[in-house]
Amino acid sequence: MKKQYYIILFLLALVLFMIGTWIVKIVSGGVPFVDQWTRDLVEKLDDTYIYTGFRWVTNLGSEPFMVPFTVIAALILWWMFRSWLPALIFAGGTLGSHLLNKLIKALVDRERPSILVSANAEGHSFPSGHAMISMVCYGLLAYFIAKKLTSTKSKLLVQFLLALLIFLIGISRYVINVHYLTDVVAGFIIGFLCLVGLIYLYEWLHKRRTQS
């Protein structure tokens, strides 16, 4: 168990170091090598069926969709669990990830590869809000829904489908050329760390409530 713990810490440190090097490169006015190597591909996808498909998918992570979706999903979770705690963690966690994303973007201050207002793509670029916030929102949704399912197959199916949705929403930002690939990867990683932290917070609060 201790060995696994050290492996996780090592991987976490490695990932954070990678993101840190990207940030240093961006802040100094450079472009990370990953973004230099991947620009040709996204330019070839412009005006293709792939671009059109991802242009639709990206809306599932945009603010006009996410705001009402988060409110409705929080109410459904409150009804499912007959408790305010899952709804609060879900809605509060999604909002918190949005605010954290805005803060990091303001600090890094990276320009987008292109602006697309209709795709909710304005302002700063690093990290991708769609990747980060979708990871938290749909990740928490998968976690809470799975807790209410008794079948292992059903749990895995829900988790797989929502994980696929998270990936497609995030990568759509790269495909439609409103984010660099490093923006998306960083959004996924930071969002995942937020997701794990929120799940631990819920488990801790739920345990305290049941013991009191």
* Catalytic residue selected from 98, 124, 130, 206: 130
The 10 Å CB-count burial string (b at 16+, else e) for 151-190 is eeeebeebbeebeebbebbbbbbbbbbbbbbbbbbbbbbb
98 is catalytic: no
Determine phi and psi for 148, rounding to 5 degrees. Answer: -95, -5
Residue of 98, 124, 179, 206 marked catalytic: 179
How far is it, in rounded angstroms, from Cα 37 to Cα 73?
Answer: 39
Token pair 């603010």 is found at 63
**Taken in order 72, 78, 84, 90, is the CA torsion positive or negative?**
negative
- Catalytic, 206? Answer no
Angle of helix 84-108 versus helix 63-81 axis, rounded to 10: 150
Mind telling me the catalytic residues?
130, 179
